[in-house]
Amino acid sequence: MASNLYGSYEEQESKTNSAEEEVYYEDELEKKHLYKEIEFAVDVEDSVVYMIGEIEDYGLYDFMVRCRAILRNRDEGDTSPINVIIDSVGGDVYEMFGIIDYIESLEKNSNIKVNTICRGKAMSAAAMILACGTGKRLASKRSTIMIHEGSSMQAGKSSDLKAAHKYNSHLESMANSILGEKTNKDKKFWSEHSKTDLYLSAKDALKLGVIDAIIN
């Protein structure tokens, strides 16, 4: 199946000279790794993407690749939802916003909704993604959801630190605005209650409108 996506490794290697082979080999390792991620992080037949662990660099790219693998496997015109199962402590805020934008674009551009399902935990950036599902937003009854103010580590000149602080405040404001739109509480509520770690049970999350229903 990997050769269908990326071509035969032997055929590709025969087209390169010895100097190029070393570079191509590195590319192939990346492709093999990417396919492994697709194989173990996506159930293509059932339209399930697994968001497990920490959301790090290339998190948006990985998520898009997994979703596109599902869409390529579908019949033309199939707009059934993609299901994202989340068990994550969160991670990079920039990747988070990118994933949220991509989820929204799937509905806007392709009429494909994304169901978000927490199994275990959805914390920090992962909780934001859970709340931003465009279809059903669900959590298992013993799952834990945590929302908090973003954190960062900065170094540099005083003017750089001031600029970074200003932009971090902008990101925090943007996150609270999104929660205000997606939940039962407004931006002010989230600004006040996310200054420290806000731990929510599935029942708490349901009351606040972070999720739509609790599942077994």
3-state secondary structure 143-177: CEEEECCCCCCCCCCHHHHHHHHHHHHHHHHHHHH
Q: What is the pLDDT of residue 178?
A: 97
What are the residue ranges in the chain where pLDDT is below 50? 1-40
Q: Where are the beta strands (DSSP E) in the chain?
A: 42-43, 48-55, 82-91, 114-123, 137-140, 144-147, 198-201, 213-215
Q: What is the pLDDT of residue 19?
A: 37
Q: How far apart are CA 18 and CA 59, in angstroms?
A: 33
Q: What is the pLDDT of residue 167?
A: 65
Smallest CA-to-CA distance from 139 within 80, 43, 205, 89 is with 205
pTM above 0.85, yes or no: no
Q: What is the pLDDT of residue 161?
A: 61
Taking CA 43 as the corner, what is the angle to CA 28 and CA 7, rounded to the nearest 5 degrees? 25
Q: What is the pLDDT of residue 170?
A: 80
Q: What is the pLDDT of residue 158?
A: 73
Sequence-separated (6 or more) residues with CB below 8 Å from residue 199? 144, 145, 146
